[in-house]
């Protein structure tokens, strides 16, 4: 067990990537993830790995494509507008079945927006963003420790399933500092990659492609991808639960919002309210089954997000009408407060499931 060090979330991702054996990091400056790029600029060469500041986020994701095609561990990072640029590349990674890690330190949008934190890229991350029928695994850290741990896990999952994996976090987690324990284990073993392009010496040449022009071929590829996604859904769902054994109200949140829900949870419980929390750690695959199960035993599911309500839709899918679903959200860089969450808990209702998406009143004091 190693000593505790104080690091920013961004740096913790960087250190996690290095300890996971990341071979190449390709980045481009954008706030609020610049600390990560600077960290990699300093430490990758020190560790004999590759660092390139690319000419754009678009170039960076294509450099990742190359490194992944060569059978090595590749990572890039950016924030919302830059992640939009990477969508084509992510679709290509998925279509070519290449492993890669992409970090999105979300900031408020749409457009150029602001450098304040946000969770409004959930749809982009979990439902596509890039074109075509594909998924990337999406991991959502809620602490600096998880920024480090989940980055290591991301490389393992990417290699295990030959798929892009996204770390979906936000500017608050990225720039805050807190103590963590760095992994002192050796880098996770890299599986054999017979498909990689490293020179066809003594073997048939490999091709990395996502273009399939023979009728029926691409459809078969898509079926294979879908089979893979079903496997991932069966095996890789991850979440954390608190006080869900006896709760009447279930909070559902991830990342920064989950964290502030832990404070709301404590305060609510101290006031005698039986509140629990489900914190998805994988946003794709989403813990639909567990959420469905829990929703049958609670009076209210309350979703907390820094968005207009994106994960809210997955919650509604899971709950499927079995209980009321309410929402507390802030947009454009606003962060819900503990008191706002508690106010929504304590509201007496007539039991009908109300449409909570009237955000023009939300967040205004």
Partner 1 sequence: MLERILIAGTGGQGIVLVGKLLATIAVRSVRHVTFFPAYGAEVRGGTSSCEVVLSSEEISSPVSEVFDSMVLMNQDSASRFLPKADQKGLVLLNASMCRRPAGLAPVMVPASEQAVKLGDIRVANFIMLGALLASKPLVPSHRVEDGLRQFFSERSSDVVDMNIRAFRHGLGLVSHGSSRRQTA
Partner 2 sequence: MTRRISIYRRPEALQDTQTHYCPGCGHGLVHKVIAEVVDKLGIRERTIGIAPVGCAVLAYFYWNFDVSESAHGRVPAVATGIKRVLPDRVVFGYQGDGDLAAIGMGETIHAANRGEAITTIFINNAVYGMTGGQMAPTTLVGQKTSTTPQGRNLDTEGPPIRMCELLNTLEKPHYIERVAFTGIAGVRRIRKAIENAFLAQIEHNAYSFVEVLSPCPIYQRRSPADALKFVEEQMAVYFPVRVFRQDGKVVNA
Site for partner 1, rule CB under 8 A = 4-6, 172, 175-179, 259-264, 266, 335, 337-339
Site string for partner 2, 6-35 (x = CB under 8 A): ---------------------xxxxx--x-
**Taking CB within 5 to 8 Å according to partner kind, which of partner 1, partner 2, none is near residue 231?**
none
Give the helix/strand (H/E) hosting 166: strand 164-170
Compute the least distance from the CB of residue 18 to partner 2, in Å. 16
Do 49 and 21 form a contact (C-beta atoms < 8 A)? Answer: no
Compute the least distance from the CB of residue 30 to partner 1, in Å. 15
Compute the least distance from the CB of residue 211 to partner 2, in Å. 23
Sign of CA dihedral 275, 279, 284, 286: negative
282-284 and 137-139 strand pairing: antiparallel
The C-alpha atoms of residue 97 and residue 95 are separated, in whole angstroms, by 5
Residue with smaller CB distance to partner 1, 74 or 251: 251
Among 2, 4, 110, 112, binds partner 2 (CB under 8 A): 112
Compute the least distance from the CB of residue 309 to partner 1, in Å. 21
Q: What share of the chain is helix, strand, coil (3-state, %, to 5)?
A: 40, 20, 40
Site string for partner 2, 71-110 (x = CB under 8 A): ----------x-----------------------------
The C-alpha atoms of residue 155 and residue 74 are separated, in whole angstroms, by 9
The C-alpha atoms of residue 306 and residue 259 are separated, in whole angstroms, by 12
The C-alpha atoms of residue 304 and residue 191 are separated, in whole angstroms, by 38
Q: Give residues in contact with partner 2 (CB under 8 A).
A: 27-31, 34, 37-38, 41-42, 51-53, 55-58, 81, 111-112
């Amino acid at each position: 067990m190693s000593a505790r060090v104080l690091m920013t979330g961004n740096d913790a991702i960087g250190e996690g990537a290095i300890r996971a054996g990341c071979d190449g990091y390709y980045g481009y400056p954008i706030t609020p993830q610049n600390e990560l790029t600077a960290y990699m600029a300093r430490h990758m060469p020190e560790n004999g790995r590759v660092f390139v500041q690319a000419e754009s986020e678009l170039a960076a994701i294509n450099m990742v494509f190359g490194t992944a095609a060569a059978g090595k561990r590749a990572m890039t990072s950016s924030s919302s507008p830059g992640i939009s640029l990477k969508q084509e590349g992510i679709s290509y990674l998925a279509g070519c079945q290449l492993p890669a890690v992409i970090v999105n330190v979300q900031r408020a949008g749409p457009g150029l927006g602001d450098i304040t934190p946000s969770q409004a890229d959930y749809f982009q991350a979990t439902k596509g963003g890039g074109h075509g029928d594909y998924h990337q695994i999406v991991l959502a850290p809620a602490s600096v420790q998880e920024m480090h741990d989940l980055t290591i896990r991301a490389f393992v999952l990417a290699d295990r399933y030959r798929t892009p994996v996204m770390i979906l976090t936000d500017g608050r987690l990225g720039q805050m500092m807190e103590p963590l324990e760095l992994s002192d284990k050796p880098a996770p073993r890299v599986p054999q990659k017979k498909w990689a392009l490293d020179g066809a010496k003594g073997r048939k040449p490999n091709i990395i492609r996502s273009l399939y022009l023979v009728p029926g071929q691409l459809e078969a590829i898509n079926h294979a991808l879908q089979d893979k996604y079903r496997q991932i859904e069966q095996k890789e769902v991850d979440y954390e639960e608190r006080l869900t054994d006896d709760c009447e109200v279930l909070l559902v949140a991830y990342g920064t919002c989950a964290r502030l829900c832990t404070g709301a949870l404590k305060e609510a419980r101290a006031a005698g309210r039986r509140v629990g929390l489900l914190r998805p750690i994988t946003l794709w695959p989403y813990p639909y089954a567990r959420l469905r199960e829990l929703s049958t035993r609670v009076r209210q599911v309350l979703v907390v997000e820094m968005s207009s309500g994106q994960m809210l839709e997955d919650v509604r899918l899971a709950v499927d009408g079995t209980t009321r679903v309410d929402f507390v959200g802030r947009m454009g860089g606003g962060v819900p407060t503990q008191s706002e969450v508690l106010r929504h808990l304590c509201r007496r209702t007539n039991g009908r499931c109300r449409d909570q998406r009237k955000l023009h009143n939300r967040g205004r004091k």
